[in-house]
């Protein structure tokens, strides 16, 4: 019976595929029958027609020149390691070797390899503290969304970050979406938003005004919370929604429980008590 060595002598360009049944059987037949040429039939096999050229070339290289194949594998692993660090993926030797083999087998470009690596990422809370573009993109996306008074969940920010890392979207794409959403939520701010003024910038003086009255840090005034939702949208006598004006903001702030413990609140309470006592003749 014909052996691999026999096939190697007669068909040096195809002997690497000797262990593939469809090919090996034809090569054996060619070795045993000098009048038979197996190559035309090999090119018509299901294996040949369904296996892309890069995969055949990689298999041939591994069989014919394993030293060169291993060198290319190590080079690709180094590229993947750089991508891994950039994406913030934890090191995994087996995973990197598998990704390198897939890349060489399927002839992936660096962009295709990057897409493959990004597609495998799953959300993990630890990714936010890990170095790499995914965590960086997540933090930047949340920061940008907050400028439009939009709060992103970690899971949503992660999925958006994956799309940016894969090159499917730019950071500016999401900013444009949030700008449109903000104009729908705050129609009276549409003109300002179109000029590049974000809702956070627009409402910053109002935050400062509330913080001053409540004697707290402006950063403690979270306009995205339900507590301050009235500040962003009140309904006027015509049924239109608009942000509070300064007088309304002042009244709102002074109606909060925290105001009672402020210096202004305590003084107002004392003044009211003094007024009531005077009214009822308790004070001369």
Q: How far is CA 48 from CA 22, 122, 274, in A?
A: 9, 35, 98
pLDDT tens over the chain, length 284 residues:
788 898 888 989 988 888 899 998 999 999 999 899 999 999 999 999 999 999 999 889 988 899 999 999 999 999 998 888 877 777 778 888 899 999 999 899 888 888 888 887 777 676 555 556 888 888 999 999 999 999 999 889 988 988 888 888 888 999 999 999 999 988 889 999 999 999 999 999 999 999 999 999 999 999 888 888 889 888 877 777 889 999 999 999 999 888 888 888 677 666 665 666 666 665 54
Tell me the C-alpha distance between 123 and 98, whole Å.
21
Q: 175, exposed or middle or buried, with CB in 10 Å at 0-12, 13-18, 19+?
A: middle
Structure confidence at residue 41 (pLDDT) = 93
Structure confidence at residue 241 (pLDDT) = 83
Q: Report the relative pairing of strands 234-235 and 241-242 from DSSP bridges.
A: antiparallel
Structure confidence at residue 268 (pLDDT) = 67
Structure confidence at residue 141 (pLDDT) = 94
| pTM (predicted TM-score) | 0.64
Structure confidence at residue 182 (pLDDT) = 93
Distance from the Cα of residue 261 to its chain's centroid: 43
Closest CA relative to residue 200, chosen from 175, 165, 168:
175
């Amino acid at each position: 019976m014909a052996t691999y060595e026999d096939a190697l002598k007669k068909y040096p360009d195809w002997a690497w595929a000797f262990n593939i049944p469809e090919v090996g059987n034809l090569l054996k037949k060619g070795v045993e029958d000098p009048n038979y040429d197996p190559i035309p039939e090999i090119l018509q096999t299901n294996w040949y027609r369904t296996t892309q050229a890069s995969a055949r070339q990689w298999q041939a290289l591994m069989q014919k020149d394993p030293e060169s194949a291993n060198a290319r594998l190590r080079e690709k692993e180094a590229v993947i390691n750089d991508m891994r660090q950039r994406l913030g993926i934890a090191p995994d030797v087996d995973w990197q070797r598998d990704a390198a083999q897939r890349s060489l087998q399927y002839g992936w470009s660096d962009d295709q390899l990057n897409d493959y690596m990004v597609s495998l990422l799953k959300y993990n809370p630890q990714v936010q503290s890990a170095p790499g573009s995914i965590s960086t993109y997540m933090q930047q996306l949340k920061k940008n969304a907050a400028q439009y008074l939009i709060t992103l969940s970690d899971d949503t920010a992660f999925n958006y970050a994956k799309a940016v890392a894969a090159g499917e979207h730019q950071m500016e794409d999401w900013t444009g979406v949030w700008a449109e959403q903000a104009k729908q939520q705050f129609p009276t701010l549409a003109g300002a938003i179109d000029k590049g003024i974000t809702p956070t910038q627009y409402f910053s003086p109002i935050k400062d005004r509330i913080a001053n009255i409540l004697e707290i840090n402006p950063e403690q005034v979270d306009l995205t919370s339900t507590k301050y939702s009235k500040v962003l949208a009140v309904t006027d006598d015509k049924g239109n929604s608009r942000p509070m004006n300064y007088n309304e903001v002042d009244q709102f702030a002074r109606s909060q429980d925290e105001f009672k413990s402020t210096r202004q609140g305590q003084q107002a309470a004392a003044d009211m008590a003094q007024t009531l006592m005077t009214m009822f003749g308790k004070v001369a």
